[in-house]
Amino acid sequence: MAAELVEAKNMVMSFRVSDLQMLLGFVGRSKSGLKHELVTRALQLVQFDCSPELFKKIKELYETRYAKKSSEPVSQPHRPLDPLTMHSTYERASTVPRTPLTGPNIDYPVLYGKYLNGLGRLPAKTLKPEVRLVKLPFFNMLDELLKPTELVPQNNEKLQESPCIFALTPRQVELIRNSRHRELQPGVKAVQVVLRICYSDTSSPQEDQYPPNIAVKVNHSYCSVPGYYPSNKPGVEPKRPCRPINLTHLMYLSSATNRITVTWGNYGKSYSVALYLVRQLTSSELLQRLKTIGVKHPELCKALVKEKLRLDPDSEIATTGVRVSLICPLVKMRLSVPCRAETCAHLQCFDAVFYLQMNEKKPTWMCPVCDKPAPYDQLIIDGLLSKILSECEDADEIEYLVDGSWCPIRAEKERSCSPQCPILVLGTSDTNGLLSSPNVNGGGGSMLGGSGGGGGTMGSIENGKLGADVVDLTLDSSSSSEEEEEEEEDEEDEDEDGPRPKRRCPFQKGLVSAC
């Protein structure tokens, strides 16, 4: 039965439009549409409803067609056989032994996802390498519905349309229907059918890249495609995030065929499209996987520190230690899961929680410390720094030493908070016109000009007036004596003209830096 099914499919693939219309009319199906649509309907009949009467009709149409060809006397020039067409000796099958076409270089047509760009059959196998797409951490591939297939322009128009018709298997439909993820948006399935587009470059795995003027139509509805990110910099074009396009919500979740039409701009570059059945993961799931398989042992991390600080005989500078911040450079918060890429040359870590969350929203996979690629499969959790975070809770920075040990850095912050210059103690004037000020040692007094000795002297109680410390960094001995003469003249003027108004200090109360 399987051999007859394969033979029937090959015969259908070799039919012309008139033969396909006669076959579909025989079973009461619609005969309208393009050739690839007629082929799809006929293959559906063979796949799901291949009765003896249908197989007999297919064989009759095939023998009629090739009987006419064999009766023509005109000799045809020699050309290589199409691997998907049957030999003209099919009508002599009763006399000639027939073996199934199961050679390694023959691709049999199947129903699911094989008709793209209006082509009704698969091209012959060639040695040309296939286009590969990069693996996406947030998408776990379950099935490949359509291998990367090049978008071939059908004419010279700038705007091209490429159709693709395929059907889901019952198992795939069940996977989609039974999947729902609580952390995703409401109504979004965790198992999805996604469309990926990339350059037709076989030299290396390709990232997703949309062609110009892209539009995707699923059955009778257009699917939303990610738009452009606005650019705040003048003269910089906005960028479009090229991601897999989710088609699940517009598809028929049954055995019915789905038609996908990709509209794209033909401007010289070659693109390929592929369809995958994937399971979308979340950042919390990737974090849990990283904690399971991506933790680097503390001893290995310690050996890496020693390697970084090892004395280089060719270098004139000896490194005795390296400082590592316990603050994440992404969110300026204390690290919870210290992480870095294994390819990074630095010891500084970032927080894996926020790094995965940011790449879930906008995938860039770039290290925030050195701005180099840090893909998910190269991330590691620093076991040594995780241990340090649990033991050192009152410091935001540590220093690794040459022997692999570490010490917290706390005093540096305290020194940075203390002023680095002398302090002037200022206050308000008292009833005698002198500036009263709290003494640094707890007593009060008035501010007088000091001598050039560079220090303050303790005042004493003379004539009922309390002395004060003298701190003046701007006056020398000569200016101090001049100030004393001026004060004596002021006292004489007070005796003649009466008391003068109080002096007001131009500074506010408190401590003022002398710098």
Cα radius of gyration rounded to whole Å, the chain: 42
CB-hemisphere CA count at 13 Å for 438? 7
- Which residues, other chains included, contact 513 with Cβ-Cβ below 8 Å and sequence gap of 6+? 419, 421, 422, 423, 424
If you average pLDDT over residues 63-77, what whole number do you get?
Answer: 57
Superfamily of domain 285-312+319-409: Zinc/RING finger domain, C3HC4 (zinc finger) (3.30.40.10)
Distance CA 44, CA 251 (A): 18
Of 327, 441, 341, the closest CA to residue 382 belongs to 341
Q: How confident is the model at residue 207 (pLDDT cuts 50, 70, 90)?
A: very high
pLDDT of res. 38: 82
Give the span between the Cα atoms of 291 and 287, in whole angstroms. Answer: 6
Is 330 a residue whose pLDDT tops 50? yes
Q: How far is CA 73 from the centre of its chain?
A: 65
**CA 444, 449, 455, 458: dihedral to nearest 10 degrees?**
-40
Select the more confidently predicted residue: 22 or 329.
Answer: 329
Number of C-beta neighbours around residue 255 at 10 A: 14
From residue 24, alpha-carbon distances to 48, 108, 257 in Å are 14, 21, 16
Least confident of 292-296, 435-439, 487-491: 435-439
Class of domain 1-66: mainly alpha
Alpha-carbon dihedral sign for residues 151, 153, 157, 158: positive
Give 192's pLDDT tier (boundaries 50, 70, 90). Answer: very high
Q: Which CATH class is domain 139-228+240-281?
A: mainly beta
Structure-model confidence comparison of residues 477 and 333, the more confident one: 333
pLDDT of residue 234: 78
CATH 1.10.720.30 residue spans of the chain: 1-66
When pLDDT is averaged across residues 426-437 and rounded to a whole number, the result is 48
Mean pLDDT of 176-198: 82
Q: What is the pLDDT of residue 460?
A: 45
Q: Is the pLDDT of residue 31 over 80?
A: no
pLDDT score for 83: 37
Residues of the chain with CATH 3.30.40.10: 285-312+319-409
pLDDT at 271 over 70: yes
Q: What is the mean pLDDT of residues 15-42?
A: 81
Q: Which of 332, 351, 442 is CA-nearest to residue 389?
A: 351
Q: Where in the chain is the domain with CATH 2.60.120.780?
A: 139-228+240-281
Q: For 420-431, what is the mean pLDDT?
A: 50
Across all residues in the chain, what is the average pLDDT?
74
Q: What percent of the chain has pLDDT over 90?
A: 36
514, pLDDT greater than 90:
no
Average pLDDT on 345-356 reads 94
Is a pLDDT exceeding 70 seen at residue 476?
A: no
Highest mean pLDDT pick, 38-52, 263-277, 298-312, 457-471:
263-277
- What pTM does this model have? 0.56
Q: Give the mean model confidence (pLDDT) for residues 415-437.
A: 49
pLDDT at 166: 86
pLDDT digits (tens, 9 = 90+) for 81-94: 333 333 333 333 33
Find the range with the poorest average confidence among 102-111, 149-158, 189-198: 102-111
Question: Is pLDDT of 197 > 90?
Answer: yes
| Rounded Cα distance, 501 and 504, in Å | 9
User: Which has more pLDDT, 420 or 224?
Assistant: 224
Whether 389 shows a pLDDT value over 90: the answer reads: yes
pLDDT at 326 over 90: yes
Give the pLDDT confidence of 233-246 residue by residue, as tens digits: 777 777 778 899 99
